[in-house]
Each structure stands twice: as structure tokens, then as C-alpha cells.
Amino acid sequence: MIRKPKVADVEAMARIINERADLGELLPRSRYYIYQNLRDFVVCERDGRIVGTGSGHILWSDLEEIRALAVAPPWQGQGIGTAIVQALLEEARNLSLPRVFVFTFKPDLFQQLGFYQVDKMTLPRKVWGECIRCPKFPDCDAVALVFDLEERC
Amino acid sequence: MTAVIRPAMVDDGVAIYELVNYYAQQGLMLPKSQSAVYESIRDFLVAEQDGKVVGCGALQITWQELGEVRSLAISDGCRRRGIGRRIVERLLKEAGEIGLARVFALTHQRDFFLSLGFHSIEKKALPQKIWIDCINCVKFPNCDAEAVIINLEEE
């Protein structure tokens, strides 16, 4: 079940995200960040346990970034990440955001959903707000992908 | 026409920005950049009347069980009609649904919040986390706002 989180879910969310972050798969997130941005997140619950999470962070009226997508190891490979991204895209659509992007090391998951790869430099400068705080900056090895929610004529 | 209270959409970002900064310029609330409005747009409710945003308010989750009512602003012509009250009541309902136990506000309108069931509290009694915003405030440390808090579990 994919649902919006409650504050009681934050510990589990932080653990799942930061276990993946320790392996260099995504940026670590403090509990403070998760609390402050809780409304950005969705969680996947199985048998009463949080097994995955992801967030859509709005940067401007026309742009949202998918952040902190993580699934606990025993639950990987079951389409949970895909279901989380689909839920985030649905939310973005309801907010009438035209465009969602992601920096990722796992482009396949996103490409299967219709995201397409773009040159990082074509994204608005606004996206660098997070990047300059990244330990890897400026030697970023993530791939930038974009999803257009507005139908192209 | 009665104003409709609804979650903010990204298209409301400019109206929220203008409303908040109109009062911020008078020193009545903290200013908010356009970027900060967009980044926290999911925290916001707006009051819409005749297709126009006439009020806004946000629920910021602070830490664990504590939330904060922020950026509560009603346009000049629409005040004293209960719109702010309806926004705060709905923010408190959301707070309960998310699992927050207490919600505070730093305000110049203490009586308004008291009438909604909040009670006064010493600013120093609030957790240090709230000072992250305060230390960036132009008025710090000479804050003239008052702290109020409501315990949702008692409601």
C-alpha cells in the first residue's frame, strides 16, 4: 500500500534512506529534513511495516524533483520503487506541475516509466541548490532524467 | 460569496508570495521568498473567493510531534470574516491526521489564537529547533511576537 506518511513513520523512513545512502546510492537525509518536508513524501507499507519511501520536492511552479527514493533490501525487485514513483507522478499531476526530474544512478527504473535522459546542464540553475551541498560535487556521476506531465501535442 | 479553503496548488505560489510579503513589509510576519513558497507549497492552504486567493496559512512540521502554524495572512479587504479561523482549524485537523500532538505559532495576533483554543507559552519553553528560523530573522533577538500552543490530544 502506498500512502502519505505520518510523523511516526519518520524513523523507518530515515533508516531506509540512510542505509542506501551509506552505500552511495543516494544522498543522506537528516530526520530534520524528513520532518520538514514530510508532505513531499509517500511511503510503501507491507504487513504494517514501512518498506520503501520517496519524495517529490517542488522547486518552482513548473518543476519538481524526485528525491530520496529508497526501498529496503528484502523488498527490492518487486516493483515497489516503480509504484512509489507512479504515486509521486500522480501527485505532481494533481498539483498541475508540468515537469518532474530526477538525478539517479538507476535510470532504468525511470526510463521504463517514460522518463528520458537529458544533459544536466539543460536543467534550470535552481536544481543546483542541492548539488552544491553534495560531497561528490562537481564530479557528479548521476544521470538526469525528465518526465513531462503535460501532454505533448 | 463564502471563501473556499483548499490545499494550495503551484499556480497559487505568486498570490501566496504577495500576500505574505505584504504583511512582512509591515513587520507583522516573516518574509518568504518565491522559491521558499514553492518548496513548501504542500504545507499551505489557501482561501479562494471569486477566483482570487484572499488568504493563506501553512502547517510546518517542526520535529516529531510538534508543528507550527506559519504564514497566516488574510488580504486586507477580507479580514474579520472568519477566514483565518477556518484556515487554522483545517491546519489543526491536518496536524492531527499526520500524527502531531502539539502545534504552536509565533504571532502578533495572540487573542485570535487564544480564541481557537491555543494558550500562551514562554518562547523559551519551545524546542531549540524553532530557532533555526528565528536566528535568520531581522528582528532577532528582539522578537516582539508571542508564542502560543495547542495540545491536539486534549481537543
The model's pTM = 0.91
Site from B17, B59, B61, B70 to mutate, A interface, most A CB atoms within 10 angstroms? B61
B61-79 per-position pLDDT tens digit: 998 899 999 999 999 999 9
State how far residue A105 is from chain B, nearest Cα, in angstroms.
24
ipTM value, please give it. 0.87
Rg of chain B over Cα atoms, rounded to whole angstroms, equals: 15
Q: Phi-psi category of B140—alpha, beta or left, where left has phi over 0 and alpha has psi -120 to 50?
A: beta
Strands (E), A72-142: 99-104, 116-118
Asked if A149 and A93 touch (Cβ cutoff 8 Å), the reply is yes
- CB–CB of A96 and B11 under 8 A? yes
What is the C-alpha separation between B136 and B33, in angstroms, rounded? 13
Residue B106, phi then psi, degrees to nearest 5: -110, 120
Spacing of C-alpha B89 from chain mean position: 11
pLDDT at B42 over 50: yes
Counted across chains A and B, CB pairs separated by less than 8 A come out at: 53
pLDDT above 90 coverage of chain B, percent: 75
Residue A31: strand, helix, or coil? helix
pLDDT of residue A151: 63
Asked if B119 and B149 touch (Cβ cutoff 8 Å), the reply is yes
Going by C-alpha positions, the residue among B104, B87, B107 that lies closest to residue B149 is: B104
Cell numbers at A101, concatenated: 526530474
What is the C-alpha separation between A97 and B140, in angstroms, rounded? 36
- CB–CB of B98 and A32 under 8 A? no
> How confident is the prediction for chain B on average, in pLDDT?
92
Asked if B53 and B47 touch (Cβ cutoff 8 Å), the reply is yes
Q: Which residues in B lie closer than 8 A to residue A38 (C-beta atoms)?
A: 61, 98
Going by C-alpha positions, the residue among B72, B68, B47 that lies closest to residue B59 is: B68
- CB–CB of A35 and B39 under 8 A? no
The partner residue sitting opposite A57, judged by closest CB among B14, B39, B63, is B39
Going by C-alpha positions, the residue among A104, A49, A107, A111 that lies closest to residue A75 is: A49
pLDDT of residue A148: 95
HSE of B93, CA atoms in CB hemisphere, 13 A: 10
Residue type, B138: V
B103-121 per-position pLDDT tens digit: 999 999 999 999 999 999 9
Cell numbers at B3, concatenated: 471563501
Stretches where chain A sits below pLDDT 50 are 153
Q: Phi-psi category of B52—alpha, beta or left, where left has phi over 0 and alpha has psi -120 to 50?
A: beta
> Worst-scoring range by mean pLDDT, A12-21, B30-39, B133-142?
B133-142
